Structure 1
Amino acid sequence: MSSTPTTCSSATHYKNDPILRPLIDLGTTKRDRPRHKKLPRASILVCLFKPTFGRNQEWHVLLTQRPMKLKSHPGEVCCPGGRQDKEDEGDDVVTALRETREEVGIPETEIDILARMETVESVGGLCVTPIVGIWKNPVLPSQLQINKDEVEACFYVPLSNFWNDANGEDPFEIDWRGEVFVMRTYHWKGDDLKTFKIWGLTAHVVYEMAQICKPATSQQQSTTTRVVKTTSGLLWRWIDEPGSSKPYWSQRYFVLAGAENRKRVLHQYNSQEQAATKSETATKKNRLPLDEEDVQVTEGPQEGDKFIFQVSILDGRIQWKLAVETEEERSRWMSIISRMRSERTPSKKLKTDDTK
């Protein structure tokens, strides 16, 4: 380390900003969750700044996109950051600042540290510490000295974009290693008209940080999308594809996604881990839309130790035969799907005028 970053204790001038004050109050004390303490450590910098260029002078977040050539998380959007090295001497702040300098060329002296957020466990099994800092003299993305081996592109997103769920896709819950994790996804069009997908751990961290500092007026005006509860779990699906020699039962991880007055979808994943790393399935055959007019959920006969139910759309042309291992679980899933179906906003039909 060539220099020491400014901490929130000496950056008192930020306390006059109503957006930053809640973050400063959060402090920089370690906020490790007990289950994360034995995991390898990593840090990311949630880098906030007010542009000194352009017309939009509100607070923004710096985000990067990883190159497609990387083996780990290729093409994904993230905050600057990475694994902790020995030279960091166990200091999460030092790790975040070093990685930021190495990836996008912002010196440590350019960042004032405001807060340390609660740790998050990554898909790769890392204990990730989000560090919130202020970039004092921001420049255009094109002026950053980015490391092309680690960063494909940089872009900036207004912090206010994360204050309202309506700016993103429907959030939905998954069971992630024994805990409930809300998956959020946002799409942002950069200055070069390229669209970036912000999701997973990055969307979670930025969203949580944005909620801490969201102004009261925004809280009153925003319309929060309802996250549907109890929406994921292991189910059996009957696989009977054309050309297959013999039908069979296959256990998959299902996520029932959708919220009030929004599109409902039953997603199928090969595993819980895949559900955590993908916000949507790759092919249409792995998701069943529940916003059709004729969705039918019917109970089937018990087959051995499996309790059957079936979801069909388009007059039965598309149907999934599913099973669970208890009658209670069958009733629960059928009830949830039926409730989502009944809450769906009716499709708009053209009005006719017979008085002409």
Structure 2
Amino acid sequence: MIQIKNSKLNYIYNPHEIESLLANFIPYHYETQDLRNSAVLIPILPIHTSSSKSPSYQIIMTGRSPKLKHHTGEMSFPGGKFDPAQDNCLKDTALRETYEEIGVTPENIRIIGNLDDLPTLTGWTIRVFIGLLEIPPDFRFSINQEEVSALVKIPIEYIARNNLFYKIPFPKDHNFSMLCFDYNDPELEQNFKIWGASAHMLQEFLKKIYNIVVISPEYKRPTLKECLDAVRR
């Protein structure tokens, strides 16, 4: 297990407070013709209960359908590649893909910030949006079975805990490593392994919002230059 260092004793779960923190954060946006553009949304879902006056919050993730050509069965966030025929910008991509995958319309999503762009060795750069789902408590998600095999709701406090992440080797290049953690979903009664880019995005979310730092000298994701070199080989 990877130890985490937390300098904030009180976690910030309220997305409105998260939004104010993100307002002062300037993310890295990579502009390069050599990597294909894509975008994802980290959806934050408020959960209202009769026992509490204030809602708790969950992060929604999706299992990729085995019908897809790439990354089948992996856990990810709603998102996909930029489509110039449909999208004016990468935010449009994230919103469109979220609607196509889980049925939440752009009108019911309030974007509250960005994380740094994430380049990959497979030739993509991923823009990461954080969005609050403004939907009624009885909202029913519409799952696109062609793309999504499961919809998983992970409490924010679950990912902001010690000894959650562990390190695994990068599949094709052992010069790099990946973060990973497990979540046993009580609703679906199924265990999910979150790893790779998705786990890295959540680690970045923890670092930017809660000042939680994952400590692992061995953990190293490829830089933009290394991703570009891999593509140009």
Tell me which residue corresponds to 2:28: 31
Equivalent in 205, 208, 217 of residue 209 of structure 1: 205
Tell me which residue corresponds to 2:132: 134
Tell me which residue corresponds to 1:104: 102
Tell me which residue corresponds to 1:148: 145
**Residues paired across the two proteins, number:** 205
Q: Which has the larger radius of gyration?
A: 1
Tell me which residue corresponds to 2:5: none
SS at match of 1:132: strand
Q: RMSD of aligned C-alpha atoms?
A: 3.3
**Using the alignment, how far apart are the partners of 2:112 and 2:72 within structure 1?**
30
Contact preservation (8 Å) 2:64, 2:149: yes
Tell me which residue corresponds to 1:94: 92
**Using the alignment, how far apart are the partners of 1:166 and 1:135 within structure 2?**
29
Deviations 1:283-328 (A, max 9, x none): xxxxxxxxxxxxxxxxxxxxxxxxxxxxxxxxxxxxxxxxxxxxxx
Tell me which residue corresponds to 1:186: 181
Q: TM-score, normalised by structure 2?
A: 0.74
**Using the alignment, how far apart are the partners of 1:18 and 1:204 within structure 2?**
22
**Using the alignment, how far apart are the partners of 1:53 and 1:108 within structure 2?**
25
Check 1:66–1:231 CA distance in 2 against 1; reply closer, same or farther (3 A cut).
closer
| TM-superposed deviation, 1:181 | 5.5
Give 4+ residue runs of structure 1 displaced > 6 Å after superposition: none
SS at match of 2:85: helix
SS at match of 2:62: strand
**Using the alignment, how far apart are the partners of 1:87 and 1:231 within structure 2?**
36
Q: What letter corresponds to residue 185 of structure 1 in structure 2?
A: C
| TM-superposed deviation, 1:22 | 1.3
Contact preservation (8 Å) 1:50, 1:138: no
**Using the alignment, how far apart are the partners of 2:129 and 2:207 within structure 1?**
15
| TM-superposed deviation, 1:81 | 0.2
Identify which range, 40-49 or 54-63, moves more after superposition: 54-63
Deviations 1:107-160 (A, max 9, x none): 00001111122111234311111111111126579x211110000110111122
Q: Which runs of 5+ in 2 are unaligned?
A: 1-13, 222-226, 228-233
Tell me which residue corresponds to 1:199: 195
The answer to whether structure 1 residue 166 and structure 2 residue 163 are counterparts is yes
Contact preservation (8 Å) 1:115, 1:131: yes
Determine what percentage of the aligned residue pairs are the same residue. 23
**Using the alignment, how far apart are the partners of 2:37 and 2:176 within structure 1?**
20
| TM-superposed deviation, 1:227 | 1.2
Q: TM-score, normalised by structure 1?
A: 0.50
